[in-house]
């Protein structure tokens, strides 16, 4: 089988004696200070471009975040707001806020976990302990001012473009408060246990990438909002098992094949309180994944997605003036991936839009009537996102996988290009570049990382030249990882050829003191789901876990199977109606390649995955019994009928229409064939992949008298974010694998 292999240059000295190296432990990986260096989140340029603000974890407690700034002119980094200077005790989060943070994957964070700039650059707005605060950046004495004070929990605050008001959600209604006088008014009043105004529903937060349910108009006079009605969804009981109690939660969870919420799209005038409702058409079994105002503030766009997700329409409405106009329609035989690449131009009646109709996601310029003006990018590579538009110079900026699916780079293109296949790459360093541009697309913040370099934050001009380091994060001196750097193992990237000739990208880390004459056990770290790649040249806490396993004597291996993003639509579409099948074929190609390597012990290969990765691990054990020595599944899906509508139906259709697909994709269908050692782990308060997924598997294995190891975590959600619990998870996993894969060393 043809193989292309690339060994990344290692920045670390590998020739030093390992005996003197400090031990990298699971406890240290999850302790403070963060081994990867300063914990930076939400880096944003101010509207004026004169400073970069970001959230930073504390040295002594990396999960408590404060608000910081880097000032461009004086080159100084300074603390703006410490959370405990504003509120001594945050108190208990509301159920809605706990759920929202779980959806946003920030459930383990405290302090200031989000913030926003006002459009005029005067205020920084942030919620804390259920109330809303602002910091006036133009005042001589920068004092934090409290905007709301209520017994209720205020969420999702958004400041008006003119900086005079803030809108937020309280008790499932949309509210308004003045910045200067803090006068409050409810803009909607019918919110109750089934009606919510301005809130993003569960499906929107978890699966559609939409975290809000309301949008300010550019002129600050009106707010568009979604009113959701959850009454079509049946109430079900979900159990949250704590150490000493069991809570039964009534939840309207949209299981696949069952009803969703219904929508109304309204536009409320903040002066009069009057609401105009937009005609959404006769079909109410739909999704509204995106809403955006046009620059004139008079027209509102929204996207209408069919229940089967094979049709996506872009519509433009004039509130109060008849039916919306369908401007653009996308169709697919499988599914359409949502995006955030819609950008309406201010200087001409046109908009930028991304589409995968060519087989790869690319950018296009359309007139407001939906007529294609020109393609802006083209080629056998995928655009990740539109990052910025400079209308004055006629340039767009975007990130893409043009170099490789495992790298992410920033590019530039002209709005009047006649050669869309020719683009200019701005970022140069091999690795992963996450970009946030200013409003004019003249400067940007670049978060760069690779498997050799923890995240670095730098300010760049639009041509790519670095203006300043914000956080250079060199692994030297007193950097937390400096004492472990000599033991850091290089990552090797390569490609295997899949069944249809497409490349299957993999990464491999060889163990410490690697001897090619020896045979080593393997730690297969997998995910496999359509929305996330593991094989990237980037840094994450996952890298530290894999480095730990390599130090424990394992070959660490990951492979991205068909169905995963960033390799074109055909690569993804192979998974349509075949979840739990296509991944197995490709992962077995990786397994066969591993077995062919002289340094791998084919009898000591273990597989590990979390969430979708746990599902793939179970399917590998169940569909290919005897091929692996052990498997670890954390919070796995077992029966897709227990998962939600938008995610599951996108790839599998409904259980009513595709019963055979659901049967073939069900772990329980094959569970009686499991014969290899299994460690099953599940948090007992999981509201994403419900604990029921694992209890069904437990019962099936018990009825088949199949032994397995089990660990459960009372009170923990899907991420098992509790500090000691997170450590316990990985110590349990490593002890299990050591016991099974390295029995003679224990």
For residue 731, the number of C-alpha atoms closer than 13 Å in the C-beta half-sphere is 13
The active-site residue out of 479, 611, 644, 682 is 611
Residue 607 backbone dihedrals phi, psi, to 5 degrees: -120, 140
Which of 680, 704, 709 minimizes the C-alpha distance to 693?
Answer: 680
DSSP secondary structure string for all residues of 198-254: SPPPHHHHHHSS---SEEE-TTSSEEEEEEEE-TTSPPEEEEEE-SS-EEEEEE---
Question: Rounded to an integer, what distance in angstroms lies between the CA atom of residue 469 and that of residue 457?
Answer: 6
Question: Rounded to an integer, what distance in angstroms lies between the CA atom of residue 275 and that of residue 517?
Answer: 74
Cβ neighbours for 412, distance < 8 A, ≥ 6 positions apart: 395, 396, 397, 423, 424, 426, 462
- Cβ proximity of 91 and 127 under 8 Å: no
E strand spans, 332-450: 343-344, 350-355, 362-367, 372-375, 383-390, 395-400, 409-414, 424-425, 432-437, 443-449
By the 10 Å C-beta count (0-12 exposed, 13-18 middle, 19+ buried), 602 is classed as: middle
> Is residue 718 among the annotated active site residues?
yes
Name the DSSP letter for residue 485.
G
Peptide bond into 726 cis (omega under 30): no
Question: Rounded to an integer, what distance in angstroms lies between the CA atom of residue 298 and that of residue 350?
Answer: 15
Beta bridge partners of 630: 606, 677
- In degrees to the nearest 10, what's the CA dihedral of 547, 548, 550, 553? 170
Classified as helix, coil or strand, 407 is: coil
The active-site residue out of 686, 687, 693, 694 is 686
Question: Rounded to an integer, what distance in angstroms lies between the CA atom of residue 158 and that of residue 76?
Answer: 28
Question: Rounded to an integer, what distance in angstroms lies between the CA atom of residue 177 and that of residue 158?
Answer: 10
> Is residue 460 among the annotated active site residues?
no
Beta bridge partners of 547: none
> Is residue 611 among the annotated active site residues?
yes
Classified as helix, coil or strand, 651 is: helix
Which of 472, 513, 474, 510 minimizes the C-alpha distance to 490?
Answer: 510
For residue 62, the number of C-alpha atoms closer than 13 Å in the C-beta half-sphere is 16
Question: Rounded to an integer, what distance in angstroms lies between the CA atom of residue 197 and that of residue 214?
Answer: 8
The CA distances from residue 57 to 31, 65, 408, in Å, are 12, 4, 26
Classified as helix, coil or strand, 186 is: strand
Question: Rounded to an integer, what distance in angstroms lies between the CA atom of residue 672 and that of residue 386?
Answer: 48
Question: Rounded to an integer, what distance in angstroms lies between the CA atom of residue 223 and that of residue 158?
Answer: 11
The CA distances from residue 82 to 111, 261, 505, 541, in Å, are 8, 39, 43, 25
Reading the block at residue 139, the tokens are: 């005042």
By the 10 Å C-beta count (0-12 exposed, 13-18 middle, 19+ buried), 739 is classed as: middle
CA 554 to chain centre: 28
Question: Rounded to an integer, what distance in angstroms lies between the CA atom of residue 227 and that of residue 262?
Answer: 8
Q: How far apart are the first and last CA of the chain?
A: 36
Residue 457 backbone dihedrals phi, psi, to 5 degrees: -115, 125
Give the active site residues: 611, 686, 718
């Amino acid at each position: 089988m043809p193989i292309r292999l690339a060994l990344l240059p290692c920045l670390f000295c590998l020739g030093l004696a390992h005996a003197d190296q400090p031990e990298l432990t699971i406890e240290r990986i999850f302790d403070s200070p963060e081994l990867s260096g300063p914990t930076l989140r939400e880096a944003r340029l101010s509207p004026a471009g004169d400073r970069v603000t970001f959230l930073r974890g504390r040295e002594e407690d990396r999960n408590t975040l404060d608000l910081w700034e880097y000032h461009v002119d004086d080159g100084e980094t300074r603390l703006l707001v410490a959370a405990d200077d504003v509120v001594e005790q945050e108190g208990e989060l509301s159920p809605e806020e706990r759920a929202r943070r779980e959806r946003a994957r920030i459930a383990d964070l405290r302090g200031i976990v989000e913030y926003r700039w006002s459009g005029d650059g005067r205020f920084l707005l942030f919620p804390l302990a259920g109330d809303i605060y602002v910091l006036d950046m133009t005042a001589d004495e920068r004092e934090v001012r409290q905007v709301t004070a209520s017994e209720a929990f205020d969420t999702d605050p958004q400041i008006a473009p003119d900086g005079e008001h803030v809108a937020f959600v309280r008790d499932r209604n949309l509210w308004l408060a003045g910045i200067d006088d803090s006068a409050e008014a409810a803009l909607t009043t019918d919110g109750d246990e089934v009606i919510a105004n301005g809130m993003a529903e569960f499906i929107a937060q978890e699966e559609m990438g939409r975290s809000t349910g309301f949008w300010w108009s550019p002129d600050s006079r009106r707010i568009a909002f979604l009113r959701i009605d959850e009454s079509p969804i049946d109430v079900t009981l979900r159990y949250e098992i704590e150490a000493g109690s069991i809570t039964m939660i009534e939840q309207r969870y949209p299981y696949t094949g069952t009803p969703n919420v219904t929508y109304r799209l309204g536009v409320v005038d903040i002066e009069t309180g009057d609401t105009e409702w937009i005609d959404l058409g006769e079909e109410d079994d739909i999704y509204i994944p995106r809403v955006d105002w046009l620059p004139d503030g008079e027209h509102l766009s929204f996207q209408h997605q069919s229940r089967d997700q094979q049709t996506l329409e872009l519509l433009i409405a004039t509130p109060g003036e008849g039916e919306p106009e369908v401007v653009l329609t996308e169709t697919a035989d499988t599914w359409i991936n949502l995006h955030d690449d819609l950008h309406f131009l201010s200087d001409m009646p046109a908009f930028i839009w991304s589409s995968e109709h060519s087989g790869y996601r690319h950018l296009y310029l359309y007139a407001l009537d939906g007529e294609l003006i020109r393609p802006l990018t083209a080629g056998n590579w995928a655009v990740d996102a539109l990052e910025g538009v400079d209308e004055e110079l006629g340039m767009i900026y975007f990130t893409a996988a043009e170099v490789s699916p495992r790298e992410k780079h920033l590019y530039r293109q002209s709005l009047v290009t006649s050669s869309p296949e020719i683009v200019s790459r701005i970022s140069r360093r091999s690795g992963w570049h996450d970009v946030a541009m200013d409003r004019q697309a003249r400067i940007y913040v670049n978060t760069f990382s690779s498997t050799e370099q923890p995240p670095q934050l730098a300010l760049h001009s639009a041509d790519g030249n670095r203006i300043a380091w914000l956080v250079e994060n060199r692994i030297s001196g007193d950097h937390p990882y400096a004492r472990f750097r000599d033991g850091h193992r290089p990552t090797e990237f390569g490609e295997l050829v899949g069944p249809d000739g497409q490349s299957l990208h993999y990464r491999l880390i060889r163990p410490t003191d690697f001897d090619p004459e020896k045979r080593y056990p393997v730690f297969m770290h997998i995910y496999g789901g359509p929305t996330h790649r593991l094989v990237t040249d980037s840094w994450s806490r996952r890298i530290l876990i894999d480095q730990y396993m390599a130090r424990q004597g394992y070959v660490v291996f990951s492979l991205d199977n068909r169905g995963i993003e960033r390799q074109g639509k055909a690569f993804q579409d192979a998974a349509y109606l075949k979840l739990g099948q296509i991944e197995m074929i490709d992962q077995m190609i990786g397994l066969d390649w591993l077995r062919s390597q002289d340094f791998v012990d084919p009898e000591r290969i273990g597989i590990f995955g979390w969430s979708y990765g746990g599902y793939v691990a179970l399917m590998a054990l169940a569909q290919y019994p005897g091929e692996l020595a052990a498997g670890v599944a954390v919070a796995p899906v077992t029966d897709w009928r227990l998962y939600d509508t938008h995610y599951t139906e996108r790839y599998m259709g409904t259980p009513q229409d595709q019963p055979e697909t659901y049967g073939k994709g069900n772990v329980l269908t094959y569970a009686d064939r499991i014969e290899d050692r299994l460690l099953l782990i599940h948090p007992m308060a999981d509201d994403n992949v419900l604990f029921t997924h694992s209890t069904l598997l437990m019962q099936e294995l018990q009825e088949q008298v199949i032994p397995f190891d089990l660990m459960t975590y009372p009170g923990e959600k899907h991420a098992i974010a509790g500090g000691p619990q997170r450590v316990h998870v990985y110590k349990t996993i490593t002890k299990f694998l050591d016991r099974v894969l390295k029995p003679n060393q224990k």
